[in-house]
Structure 1
Amino acid sequence: DLKLIRSKNHIHLEGSEDEMRKLYKDLLTEETQGNFLNLNKLSSMFKGFDLLKVKDIMENILKEYNYRIREMAIPMLMIHIGVAIERMLHHNYIKTSRGTDLENTKEYQIAKEFFNRVSKIVRIDINENEVELLALLLMGKNSMNLQNDLVSAYSKHGYNVNELVSQIIESIKSDYDIDFSKDVDLRSGIALHLQGLVERKNKNIHIDNMYLQELKKKYPLVFELSIRVGEILNEELGIDISENELGFLALHLGAAYERTHNHQHYKAIMIYPVDQAFGDILLKKVDFLFNERMDVIQSVSYFEEKTIKELDPDLILTTSPLQHNLDIPTVQISVFITTEDESRIFQTLNALDKKRFQNEFKAQIIDLIEPETFHLNLKTETPEETIEYMCDHLKNLGYSDDAFKKSVLQREKMASTSFVYSFAVPHSLNVASFRSSISVAFLEKPIKWGEFEVKMVMLLAINEVYKDTLVMFFDWLSSMINNANHFVALLESQSYEEFISKIIE
């Protein structure tokens, strides 16, 4: 619903803010997909050393110290390490006075050992400040208690670094409808980065960004996010942020966006004789056919349960018959990938999609169905009376107002919201509730609702924050309608607990 406007010197889009944001998010998802979480692609940005070998060194040290970090945090960690080594290769060292007491922490010991080993394969001098920075990054949010907060000295409103990061995340959500609020890796990464940024500004130290132009060219929308962050920093700290610094911020934001929206790709393990000539051909064909839905994260010659568990794949592809006790879908394929092989892989990916949808449905929908908005044996005679009762109940809870009820009734007059199988889904035309909720009512007696007799009513009261949930809800509804037996069982629910149990089966 956007209109393209052409003038003499430029073109632009006109339309609703909602549609603008949808377009932006679609473009951003397409742009970042598989790039910021793909270590091979990240590695290609660093020309002076092999980031994948550096990653292997870090993983070996983490195992030796029995130190675990979240898998999704690894790309962000490697971005920091890559930037650090690139800086050190060009003799860009920073002397700071953090005043931290890190030497007795496990994170410091890991960071120190890491740079000791890296210095043997990359020509860098070990720098104490880089060791401390890496240790603080490994500590994540806990590191904020151990370092001086330089941000508060610059902030016009007395923000500390955590408050400023929260403002940045809230601004991105407000301006672009992208929610990073639950991304702890982004929070700790940007907080640490801001401390370094302020130190560099304080001491007038300039750092080149070797891949700035590539970021601007290939990921303009991610860079646009970083520009917005730069504007906030300028407003709050009075600091002009250079493009080089914006490029570093863009790396954090790109990885965060992909973590938030990385729903399509599954992780696969390939088991085949890796020393045989056809191996590369097989891998390339699998990547060509399925790169939009899965990534082969590791190729091995044989199955070993411990190794597979550590890799934690979503599925296993094997060229030989394989039986195991792990709860991981396994598909046997030929070395030449026949159409039958393609079909089996697609069926497995579709099954994984269904399982993932169920998990997301539980996380997003179930929380909206609360005991206080669940009505059993409701005595009403007409659709209007039912809607008024349920809307008034939401109003009394502080979830909505009279305007919401009026809009729901107006929508019902336009066309009945009842469906086959004895249920109705009334909802507002365009008036949002104050708080999102799905109110459920089981009627004492079925009532005539449009063309159908209705026994169960699900009133949708969704505000702007949960608008994407509507798509998921109607996807679920569609699948339920196509599964008559399951839906009939749902209609027989005798309590809130039984209803919730059946709805997530």
Structure 2
Amino acid sequence: MYLNDKRFLKLFKLLSNSRVPMKSEELCEHLEIAPRTLRNDLKNYKLTFLENGVKLISKPGVGYYFEIFHQDLYFRFIQDLIKKETQDQHLIPVYPEERINYLIKLLLSTDKYIKIEELEEKLFVSRSTLTNDLKEVRERLEYYHLDIENKPNYGMKLIGEEFNKRSCISKYYFHTDLYDSVVLSTEKNERKEIIKKLLYDTITENNFTLTDIGFRNLVIHIMILLMRIDKLIENEIIEPIYINLEDEKEFKIAGMIIDKLENQFKVKLPKKEIYYITIHLLGKKSMQYNNDTLLISQETQDLLNYIFKHIKQNFKLDFSQNFELFTCLALHFQPMMNRLKYGLFIENPLIDKIKNENSLAFEISLYVGSIIKEIKNYDVNVNEIGYIALHFALALERLHEEIRSKNILVVCASGAGSSQILLYKLKQKFKNYINDIRVAKLYELLDIDQSKYDYIISTVPIDFNTQIPVINVQYFLTEEDIDLVKNIFTEAENDYSFINKYFKDELFFKDLKGSTKEKVLKNMCDAIQKIVDIPPDFYKLVIQREEMASTEFGNNIVLPHPIKPITDSTFVAIAMLEKAIKWDKQQIKFIFLISTQKDSTESLSLFNESIAALVFNKKAMTELEKNPTLNTFKRIIKEMAIQEKENTIDSIFK
């Protein structure tokens, strides 16, 4: 290899960065060599290019350019070159995600302007690639209320509040795999241990408790504070919102922490740092108790009651008697409100998994976020939404179990022993579906209040009328008997009528046009309006939901819908795009626009689960793309529904 050949390195950079073929005259000018020398060099370098995943293409009258035929080899080769130049392969990345993280770190690490030309040369990428990377960088920085300032002839630099910069530094320097090995020196590790002890001693003295994550994040915040001590402004103006913090118990503790830091590290810290640490303490503390009684503020209680009331109105789900959910949300809300109020950011590494696997809980939580915005005027970011959704997911699972469980009367004339065997087998096979089960003799049925039960399972014929259905089985339960009993527990889930009910030929659009998600959704809503009576603000409510969190789910699928049920009937409009587009982060080809009937009480669980299952079935979507008809889709969705039902049963009877 030619890692020590500066001319080779420069030539490789030129051809890697160029979006168009480069003529020999251009290359000679940049390399300051004669045409004959260039020809000799290219001849010598040709094999090295091939060995490392790129083919040098030469077209007469057009020029020279690279054709990458093995990306991994090419990227590894670039890493070797970078390692040679930087002596540290971790500092400059190659893959897109690594480049984005690198750019954010670079912007956070300097107050000077950085020219885009410098970045092109450092990263071995073209201007267009770098522009796309910087677009993603801006989007990620926006979460921390940071931006990039561009100044002609100077370049770009990061702008924003110091507190927000530190939050971003915490994410991109301290919460990455490479940080400890690359940045965190032995000296910094020793400092970290000192800070941990100092913080632990202070909160223990004050009988204050932090969550484990809260403790770790506050240690990181203090480390960043000491690293950026030269950035601190002594007499910085204290905003009015911070002054209110002085009445909090946490403000006193924060003052003690600052005093200890100044004494330990021989530094002088501005008063504003006390407010920053107070915010961390408020946003990450464990719930406090008084004589073993949970202290929930009246404000939080009122907010949750209001939320439960509106969830019942819009989703037809009544959580008002769910004390466990109320308590869990109260525990979560009180520190969350402090985070939202003072702009303290948290990460949620499970957000995509939560959104994909708990779609209804996520939708409910987005609605909860909109209520908090309406009442408190706080923007609830998607990471916070994800954590709220975990509480609703658990509540929904328990609600589903309550709805599907049945009360059973067992009648067996063979004696007490056989009755107990049948009872045991039913409990063993159907424990997740049985709420209450009782053994009765045949003659006792007339005196039992049958209205308290759902079914009678009997090993003998019953020759008189009963108030509830009777299922006849053999006392040792054959396979046929098990299937028969399965059906009574899953009867509500066996109804595939939704396939014809919700999917209509006239709402199946092939070759829908649009270059952005807004244009696509507008075109789709306009097409729907010609067929279905939808409200005038239908498109606006679909966009409003999309702005809260993207509905892209992978597998080229997006599932947009209005932020709340607003139509007189439930329907699904299906569209195949004429040309796939980038929605937010992913390429999208298929759109399933779902609208749920307002004030509906029908269960849509199998419908929702079947639609969601498409996200994980590439074969099905490939089949639909090859044969884009509603009949193809109906067959696929029925297969999904059957599969989802069987998966549910399998999980119960495993």
Range into which the TM-score falls when normalised by the shorter chain: 0.3 to 0.5
Bigger Cα Rg: 2
Q: TM-score, normalised by structure 1?
A: 0.38
Q: TM-score, normalised by structure 2?
A: 0.30
* Bigger RCO (CA 8 Å, 6+ sep): 1
